[in-house]
Amino acid sequence: MKLLFIHADRMTYEIRSATKAAEELEDSAKRYSSDDILVCFTSVEKDDFSKGDALVRKAAEEVHSVAEAVGADRILIYPYAHLSSNLASPKDAVRVLDAFHKAVSEEHRADRAPFGWYKAFTITCKGHPLSELSRSVDIEKTETRKKGEDRYFILLRNGERARPEKYLTDNRCFMAMVRKEALREQVGSSSAPEYLKLCKKFGIEWEKMSDAGHEVYHPNAALMFDLSMDYARQVISGLGLSVFSVKGTNMFSLDEPAVREHAELFGDRLYTLESDSRQYVLRYAACHQQFSMMSRWNISYRQMPLAAFEIADAYRYEQSGETMLLFRLRRLNMPDLHVLCRDMTEAYEWFRKIHDRIYAEIERIGTDYEMLVNVSSEKAFEENREFILSLIKEKGKDCLVHIYPEGSNFYWTVNIEYHLLDQMGRAREIGTVQIDTGNAKRFNITYADSEGRKNYPIILHTAIVGTIERFMYAMFDQAIRRAAESGKPGYLPFWFTPEQFRLLPISEKHSARAAEIAKLLNSSGFRAGVDDRELTISKKVREAKQDWVSFVIVVGDRELSSDKLNVYDRELDVNRDLTLPALLSEAERRSSEYPKRQLYLPVELSRRVDFST
């Protein structure tokens, strides 16, 4: 806050016109005059409002000190934007000015000139040595967390605790997680991850004309991205909940107390922007939008549990040197589900169902998870201890527990991160679920109980398959791991492969038959391309395998006269003779229960452009 003091024989002003941010004003307040007055020209700066009462009190003390020094009893607080180029939003400025006026009035007769009005003023300065003074008032922003140490221990299945540095197991993923999270050790290979080759192959790269950490997806990658979104929606719809799908904006005003409080609890990775002299935060999950909507819903206990769902573009200001394709981004896409539960008993029930589904989904990819259980305090751990213990007993796994410093004022109590072991030997978080006990009240989300009374629900937050990008990361990484462990060519699940079939006509006379088969496959809901280029068949086969096509079909003379097809099956790494009905049946089996989309490219390879970077 910037202050300029003028000890004046006389101060007058008259309102002339309003700005867009003008306060409401009665006619009697449009003119002002006073003799023998200390005028305090005041600029409220960004972040002054968030510093709260401590800053206001310190500024008031400056006023009291100057007033005593010059012998002034009457004070005028005069909003004056020209003292700073780092101004607060109008809404924040008015809040601070009101609090400042109130604090000064405790010891002096104090008036406040209206904010947001153009005023013509005259001032006659007394001219003594102390009649013109300036002050800059600031304090250190109050820390969200109280000071203390993060504590880690291993919760064993028998309920006992073990020290991380003493714990040993042959579970590579668990040990990698313990070493990284609890012992702060560098874990895994430092060479370039192999999955980046698949990013390049399918067309995922950084957008060079944007901020750091923003990805671009060429057609095959865009298809995989959209299939992942479809699958995330499919998983949510299969939970058995009443799910309300919504859409909303990605920027929220920090003038809103609930948004500001939530943002301050989130930490130091906020992505902010300014518009029309107001400061906004770009959402880091779907919380703001869903909570804002839910606060306007009329919800009965009979309708619960219920959930809101959106695949939300989210923004986290990661360090530019730490960004990593598909894994650590500044712009990501979160399939964010918030489940409203009547009480903790219901929250535990649905937490367990979500927990089980998170494990089921990673098992479908072909790997497993280890649990990092974050708890907001020792008290929260003891309150939830038996529930946490029941989860690890069911899985037959110990877990790593992280207890945050005592006094941390988080909105959640228990948050589980689910880590897999990647191809580089590192533990990587993908799925997550947490219990939120604070945001219903913060955002005024209520439901009516059987007697019509308003209650605040418990909220579960979850991204069952992780962010869309991390889900794709897991798919790529596991494909690389499978290849390394089996010694066979890597493959992606059939439903997720951008080009599921490629027909390779040996010569021009076979092109019509290849096109006919491709048309049938595409009309059946699959993705089939035709390599109609004038290349040798060996080169066509080689490129199809390089492109990780699931089924490569050579069309020659035999295919013109027989119902048998010569098919290379990438998943099995074998050549097979299959009839077209048998091939369709195999494709249906492999894609059953998964989403389908058409090619994002022309069917004919001769019409495709080169996307290599």
For the segment 14-69, what is each residue's pLDDT rounded down to a tens digit?
Answer: 999 988 889 888 888 899 999 999 999 999 998 888 787 889 999 999 999 999 98
What is the rounded CA–CA span in Å between residue 363 and residue 277?
49
CATH 3.40.50.800 given to domain 494-607: yes
Higher-confidence position of 552 and 129: 552
Q: What is the mean pLDDT of residues 150-156?
A: 96
Task: Identify the band that residue 272 occupies on the pLDDT scale cut at 50, 70 and 90.
Answer: confident
Task: Answer whether 466's CB lies under 8 Å from 367's CB.
Answer: no
Q: Do domains 151-476 and 494-607 have the same CATH topology?
A: no
In CATH, what number does 151-476 get?
3.30.930.10
- pLDDT, one tens digit per residue, over 216-271 is 999 999 999 999 999 999 999 999 999 999 999 999 988 888 888 888 777 668 88
pLDDT of residue 581: 96
SS (H, E, C) 413-472: EEEEEEEEECCCCCEEEEEEEEEECCHHHHCCCCEECCCCCEECCEEEEEECCCCHHHHH
Nearest to 342 by CA among 236, 440, 478: 440
Structure token digits, residue 377: 């305090």
Q: Which of 444, 439, 445, 440 is nearest to 409 (CA)?
A: 439
Query: Is residue 610 scored above 50 in pLDDT?
Result: yes
Give the CATH number of domain 2-136. Answer: 3.50.80.10
pLDDT surpasses 70 at 512: yes
pLDDT tens for 83-137 read 998 888 888 899 899 999 999 999 999 999 999 999 999 999 998 888 888 999 9
Place of tokens 């369709």: 584
Separation CA 590–CA 583 (nearest Å)? 11
pLDDT at 274: 84
Classified as helix, coil or strand, 334 is: strand
Specify the pLDDT at position 143. 45
Average model confidence (pLDDT) for the chain?
Answer: 93
Extents of the domains making up the chain: 2-136, 151-476, 494-607
**pLDDT: which is higher, 339 or 137:** 339
pTM for the model: 0.80
Is 154 within 8 Å of 400 (Cβ atoms)?
A: yes
CA distances from 185 to 175, 180, 181, 324 (A): 11, 5, 8, 19
Is the pLDDT at 613 greater than 70? The verdict is: no
In this prediction, residue 144 carries a pLDDT of: 44
Q: What is the pLDDT of residue 407?
A: 66
pLDDT higher than 60, residue 140? yes
